[in-house]
Amino acid sequence: MSEPILKIENLVVHYETRTGVAEAVNDVSFEIQPGETLGLVGETGAGKTTIALTIMGLLPQPGGHVIQGKITLDGEEITRYLSNSRRETNKNDKHFRKIRGNKVGMIFQDPMSALNPVYTVGEQIAEVIRLHNRVSRSEAEKRAVEMMETVGIPGARFNNYPHEFSGGMKQRIVIAMALACSPKLLIADEPTTALDVTIQAQVLELMRGLRKEFNTAMLMITHDLGVVADICDKCAVIYAGQIVEIGTLEHIFNSPCHPYTRALFDALPSLDSDVERLKSIEGLMADPMDLPTYCSFYDRCDRKCDACKAGDPVLKEVEPGHFVSCVHYDGKKEGEA
């Protein structure tokens, strides 16, 4: 195996708020190989976006802290640039500025608000090109036009403002902006959530094509298993800031193990069976301000037993490349236990 583009080891992120400390990300580890796409699936508040913002060094300030863990991006450890003191902030921000937009491109959830309304889309794409390449204004503009055409927007619309585009087109422009400097890693934070279904399909199709063209590794954050099935190679299911199951697409979709993953699949409508009501997962996600010392999914789990309360489960390999954190899977698959 080659050197991974992104390697996250034992990442813990907390938010300090007035009412207490929210444990947003708890001991998360995963890696992404060059050209590979990892889907990060979980419900709202599970810590998906926090992981993305940590990689970008854009955790909300004040309040967001990386408590421990190591993030290695393209062979360089970037967690050491996370500043703890105010004095270091500027110096460290300089390191992160070289990463943002250059090594890591990011696509945000809502294209409607992700573009600055008072500058033309062309200017906004050219801005990122000029930030990371020593090129003249006209050269940057030329490249911006090329990027626009790559994502399927006529270059003639360079001088249009964001409000003159539809949502799907805006998301294309956001994608063009994220890919303008050919980043090694693309973080897509729910890129299709705000779009309607036909546009979703178009945008996913576009991203699939571009991923091949630019050979970019991708971290796809979503709560839509359909998107994962569509575009990802690997999938990590995250619950209450912890990865509960991680494996290849086949592992997760064909033999889901963790009760949470299974419940997610049960909640999907099926074409084969005719059911009136979809299954839902009872209850709410554990409060990140007050996580239990045992399995966070305990309260909602349909397979809970006394052993679950004994302690926090850890990820164990049930088959090569497929990890589950649940006491019911102790290094073996269910049937073998």
Binding site for another protein (CB under 8 A): 56, 58, 93, 96-102, 105-106, 108, 110, 113-120, 127-128, 131-132, 161, 163-164, 174, 177
User: Which residue number, 55 or 66, has a Cβ lying nearer to another protein?
Assistant: 55
Contacts of residue 106, defined as CB under 8 A and 6 or more positions apart, other chains included, come to 52, 56, 100, 178, 186, 187, 188, 189
Measured from the CB atom, the residue of 172 and 234 that comes closer to another protein is 172
Output 65 or 130, the one with its CB closest to another protein.
130
Q: How far is the CB of 203 from another protein (least distance, A)?
A: 17
Taking the complex as a whole, the smallest distance from the CB of residue 18 to another protein amounts, in Å, to 11
Nearest to another protein of 15, 239 (CB atom): 15
3-state DSSP helix/strand/coil % of the chain, to nearest 5: 35, 25, 40
DSSP state of 61: T
* Inter-residue contact 40 to 236 (CB < 8 Å): yes
Buried b (16+ CB within 10 A) or exposed e, 196-210: eeebbebbbebbeeb
CA angle 7, 8, 9 (to 5 degrees): 120
- Shortest approach of another protein to residue 252 CB, angstroms? 29
Minimum Å gap between C-beta 110 and another protein is 6
Return the number of the residue (114 or 308) whose C-beta is nearest another protein: 114
Tokens of 266: 């049960």
Shortest Å distance, C-beta 121 to another protein? 11
Cβ at position 93, least distance to another protein in Å: 7
Q: Which is nearer to another protein, 100 or 322 (CB)?
A: 100
Q: Is residue 294 within 8 Å of 301, Cβ to Cβ? A: no
Query: Are 243 and 315 contacting, i.e. CB atoms less than 8 angstroms apart?
Result: yes
Q: Which residue has the tokens 């207490």?
A: 20
